[in-house]
Structure 1
Amino acid sequence: MPINESGYTYCHEHLHIDLSKQKGDDDCKLDQFELISAELKALKTRGVFNIVEVTNKFMGRNPQFIEALTKETQMNILCSTGFYIEGFFPNALKQMSVVDIANTMIHEIDNGIDDSNLRASVIGEIGSSHNVFTDTERKVFEGAAIAHLETGCPISTHTSFSTMAKSQVELLRNMKVNLNNVSIGHCDLRDNFDDILWLLDQGCYVQFDTIGKNDYYPDAKRIAVIDSLIRRGYADRVMLSMDITRKSHLKENGGLGFCYLIDHFVPMLLERGIQQQYIDLMLKHNPANFFGTTQK
């Protein structure tokens, strides 16, 4: 079952990730099983039944950790395949052909992830750097397009500080990807309303997926943009998440925790005057449509 349509979905999260070596910061190794498990159980009591886990192989993905979390919490976790961004690529990737890159993704979708019982059902998070789309990043997107066309799995992207989304879309469109199967990540990290409208008009979904990261962009502005999109008729293309990546993001470690979106952000949406039907669209129906169906 790709998605449990009876509950809410966080569209872009990490449950085990390790970027500590590249960033020189142990806080960037999110691996505390008991704390994460407790937070997922708390999420389930709030109606969140699905987590789209967008950690791919060279971001510190740990399929056995995810299998144990699934067993412990009964959370439905969708796994991903792909390569992240420049600076986090394996050295061999630069020499790989686009077809070879595609085949590594297809293998994890069709045959499974490493030595586990998990299969990827999402191609992500694949990304571009801040204001730059490197040659290797472009190769990854071309490979992702081939893998999508072969398997039908949706594509979830990473934009560094909400930049380069147009270039991502244009590349995927040139590769004959139906843009209804593309969700652009991190659209909520700067003032870029016109860019978001352009993405939506191409048929993409957009992710407001760094909720709670007020140091980057305040939640008050996120809510204002979401409200404006709803008023313009785009509610059926917006999805929400938090992109938790650090130990310090967890509640027990002094962070906001996974429940912040439900416990604090949703009440802020309601206070703004956004009706419950739109919250259900963004957290339930849109993810079910995007991650649960494909349109080749």
Structure 2
Amino acid sequence: MIDDSGYTYVHEHLHIDLSLQKGDIDCRLDQYDLIKEELLQLKLRGVLNIVEVTNRFMGRNHHFVEGLASDTGMNILLSTGYYVDGFFPPELHCRSAREICREMVGEIENGIAGSDLKASLIGEIGSSENRFTDIEKKVFEAAAYAHLETGRPISTHQSMSSMGRQQVMWLKQYGVNMNKVTIGHCDLKDNIDDIVWLIEQGCYVQFDTIGKNSYYPDTRRLDMLDVLSDRGYLERVMLSMDITRRSHLKENGGLGFCYLVDAFVPMLRERGISQQEIDTMLKHNPSQLFG
């Protein structure tokens, strides 16, 4: 699964298309040559694994991703599931959690769309900002069943870092192993108490919107990581960038995939975060969860 000799970005999109729902072509990330070049540059910096969390109805294109893996040698893990209310196919409302679970299990055990490519995780499954809709809860229920059947980890989406506790409590209700859960987008507001609570439940937390300073500045992300370091909690933290737009790519004027290792990791060191702790977040924790 994970090549633990290198770093892992735990929450990325290599092909995603939310342009229809958002009315913005920038939200169609599909520029193959630009993405390929960035992945090649990442590999030179020791990033060997990408957890690709684009799932059904988000513009997932496993053949596109398969090409990238072949052309770059990047180890890419694929996902199964559904995203968040507003990005669900209409028929999902009529299906039971057990039916959705069977679909997830099928993509894990048999492959995606009849291909030989199999999903390695269940994600990114999400909740809306400050609320958990009934259909989102149904997807989480299905994910719990699929996890219990396959043992595969669950990766979640929080809209603006708002519903992590509720996600954990809902998954716990179905007996999910918290050591196999990672809560996404924990780094979009000052919520250190929530993050500590999540870690104390046994799950992983993701600082996975690094570089998205218009949402929340990296300096504040560093402040929270400082606190978690002081408390010895980085053993449950993982890092990524959640690149989703054409404008995020370096050639298009964005920070690009390499920003995390080129700029953010040096900022961690300046804050006194040790190389061992950096390796824990970027290498050892992903290997333990997704390996």
Pairwise TM-score range, normalised by the shorter structure = over 0.9
Which residue type is aligned with residue 118 of structure 2?
R
* Correspondence for 1:202: 201
Distance in 1, matches of 2:91 and 2:105, equals: 18
Deviation, 1:116, is: 2.6
Distance, in Å, in 1 between the alignment partners of 2:98 and 2:273 is 45
Q: What letter matches 1:147 in structure 2?
A: A
Match for residue 242 of structure 2? 243
Name the counterpart of 1:46. Answer: 45
1:142 counterpart letter in structure 2: E
Matching of residue 89 in structure 1 with residue 88 in structure 2? yes
Separation in 1 of the partners of 2:274 and 2:229? 10
In the TM superposition, residue 115 of structure 1 has moved relative to its aligned partner by 3.9
Letter in 1 for 2:26: D
Distance 2:97 2:263 in 1: 43
- Asked if the contact 2:10–2:238 (Cα under 8 Å) also holds between the matched residues in 1, the reply is yes
Question: 1:114-125 to 2 correspondence within 5 Å?
Answer: 114-125=113-124
4+ long deviations beyond 4 Å = none
Say whether the 8 Å CA contact 2:110–2:116 is kept in structure 1: no
In 2, Cα distance between the equivalents of 1:109 and 1:174? 23
Instruction: Give the residue type in structure 1 aligned to 2:249.
Output: L
Q: Which amino acid is 2:235 matched to? A: D
Distance 2:6 2:175 in 1: 32
2:284 corresponds to which letter in structure 1? Answer: H
Deviation of 1:273 after TM superposition, in Å, equals 1.0
Partner of 1:132: 131
Q: Which residue of 1 aligns with 2:72?
A: 73
Q: Give the Cα–Cα distance (whole angstroms) in 2 for the partners of residues 135 and 33 of structure 1.
A: 37
- Secondary structure in structure 1 of the residue aligned to 2:243: coil
Name structure 2 gaps, 5 residues minimum: none
CA distance in 2, matches of 1:38, 1:58: 26
> 1:1-296 counterparts in 2 under 5 A?
2-292=1-291
**CA–CA separation in structure 1 for the residues paired with 2:249 and 2:217:** 19
Deviation at residue 117 of structure 1 after TM alignment: 2.2
Q: Deviations over 1:95-134 (max 9, x none)?
A: 1001001011000000101143210011000000000100
SS of match in other structure, 1:58: coil
Deviations 1:21-63 (A, max 9, x none): 0000000000000000000000000000000000001100001
TM-superposed CA distance for 1:235, in Å, is 1.2
CA deviation vs aligned residue, 1:213-271 (integer Å, no higher than 9, x gap):
00000001101101110110111100000000000000000000000000000000001
C-alpha separation in 2, matches of 1:116 and 1:39: 26
Amino acid in structure 2 at the alignment position of 1:42: Q
Cα-to-partner distance string for 1:166-191 (whole Å, 9 max, x where unaligned)? 11100100100011111000000001
Q: Matched residues in 2 for 1:68 and 1:115: separation?
A: 17
Q: Distance in 2 between matches of 1:57 and 1:97?
A: 16
Task: Provide the TM-score with structure 1 as the length reference.
Answer: 0.98
Aligned-partner Cα distance in 2 for 1:181–1:235:
16
The amino acid that maps onto 1:91 is P
Structure 1 residue identity aligned to 2:35: I
Could you say what the CA RMSD is over the residues aligned between the two structures, in angstroms?
A: 0.5
Instruction: Mark the runs of 5 or more structure 1 residues left unpaired by the alignment.
Output: none
Rounded to whole Å, the distance in 2 between the matches of 1:280 and 1:164 is 28
Supply the distance in 2 between the matched residues of 1:74 and 1:49 (Cα, whole angstroms).
8
Aligned AA for 1:225?
A: M
Distance between the aligned counterparts of 1:272 and 1:193, measured in 2?
17
> Which amino acid is the alignment partner of residue 47 of structure 2?
V
Letter in 2 for 1:217: Y
| Distance in 2 of aligned mates of 1:115 and 1:68 | 17
